[in-house]
Structure 1
Amino acid sequence: MLLKSRTILPGFGLSFGISLFTLSLLVLIPFAMLIYHTAGMGWSKFWETISHAQVLAAIYLTLKMSFFAVLTNLVFGTMTAWVLVRYQFFGRSVVNALVDLPFALPTAVTGIALATLYAPSGWLGRWFDFKIAFTPLGIWLALVVVSFPFIVRAVQPVLEDLSPELEEAAATLGAGHLTIFRRVVLPELIPALLTGSGMAFARATGEYGSVVFIAGSIPYVSEILPVIITAKLELFDVAGASAVALFMLLISFVILFVFNITQWFFSKRLGAKV
């Protein structure tokens, strides 16, 4: 047999077949069609499409805002996870449930809510001397909101499993709070932080619904790549949309590959120390 079960549990062949079919239906076949439509363009047309100044500006803006959103959530997401795990307070379960709200809300609702709040005439936007909506700052804000839960949910279980005795032992030996966090807690969190960052970055680069309402989609200013892909589809330029999507997919794949390699390195290093 080409595939042999490594477990005594029955049903490996059926389970593997269903999993492979689902993976093919949801992931492999759509990607194959994307490559198929792009291949019909030819290399010169493909390069002309992805090297257009408007496309390059959108790619740069998308990657930059996604990167800044992930950095922001690394700080505040870790702090939120720390508070939820290490402190008991009234309303803790409510706060814990609110973390998942961006998962539950339709992205269009999130975008409309942010635009209502941070537009120049909005409830919060009117108090700022600078514009938030219809600028790259609005894109960053939307991406922070939609990618926030990924960091929290990646870090939270690691903090729950982290033994407080390790921190107490370090404190007994004279280590300060910052040293304890840097030498004891942070090394344990790095693999989870990388996992959460990778998922948050992947979500941010492909986000459309929440961004389009607050960004304004002004070319060369606040136009992200998913907006360009949508615009090409509306013009029935399926090949052009596929080319841009495939190029962005390759960039995201490379970045996620780097995340995974780095996570594997730190996990192996941490395991060796243990």
Structure 2
Amino acid sequence: MADRLTIVTWNINSVRLRMPIVEKLLAELQPDVLCLQETKCPDANFPEKAFRAAGYEHMAIHGQKGYHGVATVSRRPLGEIEKREFCAMGDARHVAVNVPFNGAVLRLHNFYVPAGGDEPDREVNPKFGHKLDFMSEMQDWLNGSETSRPAVLVGDLNVAPYEHDVWSHKQLLKVVSHTQVETELFEKVRERGGWLDAMRHFTPMEEKLYTWWSYRAKDWSKADKGRRLDHIWVSQPLAGAVRSAQVLREARGWEKPSDHAPVVAVFEC
């Protein structure tokens, strides 16, 4: 009998503040696994009861007060939880788990890559240097034994790598998230591990594809000045099992929304 697995990744921009729309998504979509970024709360304050009430008994939480934070919640048991630190900063930006799938397990990485500040120059903006160093550590680690097995990498990676991943390639070339130094390093991370970009696998390169729209726009949907900052990568041993990957755009318009929309991937073997 075929096994079907649905994974959602979503930068929630404060899990406690936006728990009503998280519960809405879980009720309507009923994914097997939900990966959240920017949870903005320490582990002790994570709303575990609400997730258990929704049927998500299994959790891997890596949070901190007021900043960053990632969490993976699941209806399936989670094994071998790992919380990796990058750049010796002590930030809560990664958690990995094993998820049962098709009689075995897949390794699921949940990332929140640093945004990088406003100025794309590491000499004047340490935040930008931190972002580049973070991705360099990803490049060194996420290959070999990490990608020779069934694995999925999801999260807010804070880079829009391709021309049509932003509303205006020309106007954003010098804007953090779409600069050449970021996009080239981003591709090195992905290519060294042999990761499949699941979203672009199902959406042609010439089509616009966004997951984030700024709060600054009075009508975010009409202005549609988006960027694709959220990603789903799949290792080659699992690539044949990906059935779909799409943005749940309507969630950006829910009450008191995050500025990111969820991304949904379905796997089946």
Rg comparison, structure with higher value: 1
TM class, shorter-chain normalised?
under 0.3
Structure number with higher relative contact order (C-alpha < 8 Å, ≥ 6 residues apart): 1
Per the normalisation by structure 2, the TM-score is 0.24
